[in-house]
Structure 1
Amino acid sequence: MTEADAEFAEQWRLVNTPLGEEWSGRTRYAAAMWFHKRGDMDAETLEVYRICSRLDSTDPLPIIRDRGVGLEWLRRMEAQR
């Protein structure tokens, strides 16, 4: 596994941090920023992660769906689960 692959795997693990864990919202948001910087996530989707960053038990995916943003991100998340 290359260093880039390892970093991607780590960020993917972080963006999927289980709900309800202490600081999990902030962890997911930090990973979401990494994906946004890579061009894998649009600004509207990142904004949902920002809003949820202080809400450790709130799943950002239903909010993303409700807002009708991040369709490619949602496909990617659903494919990996």
Structure 2
Amino acid sequence: MDDETKRHWALIRTLPGIEWSGRTRYAAAMFFYQRGQMDAETLEIYRICSRLDAEDPVSVLKSHHLGADWISRMETESDRP
């Protein structure tokens, strides 16, 4: 995994509740979307959550039964930087 990808994995895992964390996660989500690693539906959840710093987009995805592939990637240890 290259350094840029590692950096974006760290950003997309920014904890909820931190000021600007929603926007940080959304920026990282856009990186993965542009690389074809995230679908548009999942990106939309990150966009909606971008103004909600306390909201965890992965929890929203799970509650709406969306983004199963992405959730799996987030939970896979091998993808962690």
The alpha carbon displacement at 1:63 in A equals 1.2
Question: Structure 1 residue 73 and structure 2 residue 70: aligned?
Answer: yes
After superposition, the C-alpha distances for 1:21-55 in whole angstroms (9 at most, x for unaligned) are: 11000000000000000011000000000000011
1:54 maps to 51
Richer in helix (by share): 1
More divergent stretch after superposition (26-35 vs 62-71): 62-71
The CA RMSD over aligned residues, in Å, is 1.4
Provide the C-alpha distance between the structure 2 equivalents of 1:62 and 1:23, rounded to a whole number of angstroms: 18
* CA distance, structure 1, for counterparts of residue 65 and residue 18 of structure 2: 27
Q: Distance in 1 between matches of 2:59 and 2:20?
A: 20
Aligned twin of 1:45: 42
**What corresponds to 2:25 in structure 1?**
28
- Percentage identity across aligned positions? 56
Deviates more, 1:19-28 or 1:66-75: 66-75
Runs of 4 or more consecutive aligned structure 1 residues displaced over 6 Å after TM superposition:
none
Aligned equivalents of 1:18, 1:65: Cα separation in 2: 17
Gaps of 5+ in 1: none
When normalised by structure 1's length, the TM-score is 0.89
| Alignment size in residue pairs | 78
Of 64-73 and 33-42, the range deviating more from structure 2:
64-73
Q: Which has the higher contact order (CA 8 A, sep 6+)?
A: 2
Counterparts of 1:65 and 1:39, CA distance in 2: 21
